[in-house]
Amino acid sequence: MEKYDVIICGAGPAGLMTAYTLGSTASGSLKILLLDRREPWREPVCCAEVVGSGMFSSLLPVDPSFVRCYTSWINYTSPKGYTAGTYRKGRSIILNRAKFHRWLWDRCLEVGVDCRYNAAVKALERRDSCWDVTVDKGGTQHIISAPVVVDATGPGARITQDIPCLKGIESGDENLALAIFAVAEGVPCNKEALQFFYGSAFADGYGWIFPRDDDAVNIGLGMSVGAAQGLSLRQKLLDFIFRNNPHAKIRTICGGKVPLHGTHQRPFAMHGLFKAGDAAGCVDPIWGAGITEALFCGKIVGENIPDWLGKTDAEERRHVEERVFDQWMDSCGYFYQKSAQSKIIMNKITDDQWDVFLHHLSDLPQEEQTSVLETLSSSPWLWPIMVWQIYVGSKNKNFC
């Protein structure tokens, strides 16, 4: 049985950032293992690859090797096609997730992390104040041990399921959303804009068209599991693509689940088991964004683990575990909880209300459109209020 100080399960953004932060902080004093069941630089299962340039660059240097392009516009389109937008130069980065994962993997190697892919975590067991981790590597099972394990295995994570001492930490499958997208050619796209589509066709969610670094686009849709029940999301995606683009050519279609509960009240860590990223529910509930959230959560976890390992008293270790949750909540969590509450009301906005609202905004000068939409982005709970006010005020004028 090989022993480590920290074993990190999952080499997505959260796991990679946890490993990189730990390796950088420990300067070789900790034995750190990073595991993933596949090559992390393969194309992600389901991702639109967008990050906010400001938050991302505050966490990591932006290397041109993993940047597809920059965008400056965010445009919102109603069911009848009325569009309003907000502009800020270079506000978003379209990543090449595969190249980004490889870049960060290499940074982990540079700071002394033992990185292994094609190694699937099959089971965890708490034994003598450590965790035994069963790993399948090439059909052969190995048991490795560490006092700290990080679960960064993504939404609907299962490796911590049914472990008695972790009761209360599980996020489960509640409030998951389903997302599906295609990489397609022949779909018109403003190369500097993120385009969002709203209305009943995207119940409890939205559609999108995002540029890439070639002639293709990332086009997709997402909605809650409840709203999607009984529907073929693949067919809805094809309808969305070909409705206005009959000659589009699809390269690939991918789909998956995203946690959209904002931030739940369950702890992120117990008994030396830390959750990070999607596994901890760290996702923007309005937009479904989770890359920078996963990086930020991984950074918090990575910064606190050395302190946890330096403690010997169980109560002191518990305080470190609580601090991880508190740091996330103070920085992002409370904002996302409030956003999640407003999303429930946003989901009740009708097609007619979206049309009136965005038609009204589209008639304003660009500076005013940007001002209104920037306010809504920073305070998403104002969306339903403003949509309703403009809708009610416009109906008497036969506006739409």
For 22-59, the pLDDT digits (tens) are 999 998 899 999 999 999 887 666 788 999 999 999 99
Take residue 225 and report the two structure tokens written for it: 């599991």
Query: Which pLDDT belongs to residue 398?
Result: 54
Amino acid at 338: K
Contact (CB, 8 A) for 153 and 135: no
With cut-offs at 50, 70 and 90, classify the pLDDT of residue 395: confident
Domains of the chain: 2-45+98-173+261-345 (3.50.50.60), 176-259 (3.30.9.10), 346-395 (no CATH)
Q: CA angle at residue 228 from 226 to 230, to 5 degrees?
A: 100
Q: Give, in order, the Cα–Cα distances in Å from 249 to each of 107, 219, 234, 239.
A: 37, 12, 15, 13
Contact (CB, 8 A) for 353 and 308: no
Average pLDDT over residues 164-184: 78
Q: CA-CA distance, 197 to 348, in Å (whole number)? A: 15
The answer on pLDDT for 169 being more than 80 is no
pLDDT tens for each residue of 224-282: 888 888 889 999 999 999 999 999 999 999 988 877 666 667 788 999 999 999 888 88
The answer on pLDDT for 354 being more than 50 is yes
Paired strand residues for 183: 218, 252
With cut-offs at 50, 70 and 90, classify the pLDDT of residue 340: confident
The answer on pLDDT for 337 being more than 90 is no
Q: How many residues does the chain have?
A: 400
Take residue 127 and report the two structure tokens written for it: 């034994």
pLDDT tens for each residue of 212-222: 998 999 999 99
Q: What is the DSSP letter of 43?
A: P
Query: Which pLDDT belongs to residue 261?
Result: 62
Query: Which pLDDT belongs to residue 296?
Result: 97
With cut-offs at 50, 70 and 90, classify the pLDDT of residue 399: very low
Q: CA-CA distance, 262 to 332, in Å (whole number)? A: 9
**HEC per residue, 236-300:** HHHHHHHHCCCCCEEEEEEEEEEECCCCCCCCCEECCEEECHHHHCCCCCCCCCCHHHHHHHHHH
Take residue 243 and report the two structure tokens written for it: 């409705």
**DSSP H/E element including 386:** helix 383-395
Q: CA-CA distance, 265 to 289, in Å (whole number)? A: 19
Listed range (253-262, 295-304, 341-350) with the worst mean pLDDT: 253-262
- Tell me phi and psi for residue 290, to 5 degrees: -145, -5
- Relative orientation angle of helices 334-346 and 383-395, to the nearest 10 degrees: 30
Measuring CA to CA, which residue among 145, 149, 170, 152 is closest to residue 160? 170
pLDDT tens for each residue of 69-91: 999 999 999 999 999 999 999 99
Take residue 110 and report the two structure tokens written for it: 């540079």
Q: What percent of the chain has pLDDT over 70?
A: 94
pTM for this predicted structure: 0.94
Coil, strand, or helix at residue 189?
A: coil
Structure-derived torsion over alpha carbons of residues 44, 53, 296, 384, reported in degrees to the nearest 10: -90
Q: What is the DSSP letter of 121?
A: E
pLDDT tens for each residue of 367-385: 999 999 999 999 989 999 9
Measuring CA to CA, which residue among 268, 284, 266 is closest to residue 276? 268
Could you tell me whether strands 6-9 and 148-151 are parallel, antiparallel, or unpaired per DSSP bridges? parallel
Contacts of residue 298, Cβ cutoff 8 Å, sequence gap at least 6:
13, 14, 15, 16, 17, 18, 20, 21, 152, 276, 277
CB atoms under 10 Å from CB of 21, counted, come to 23
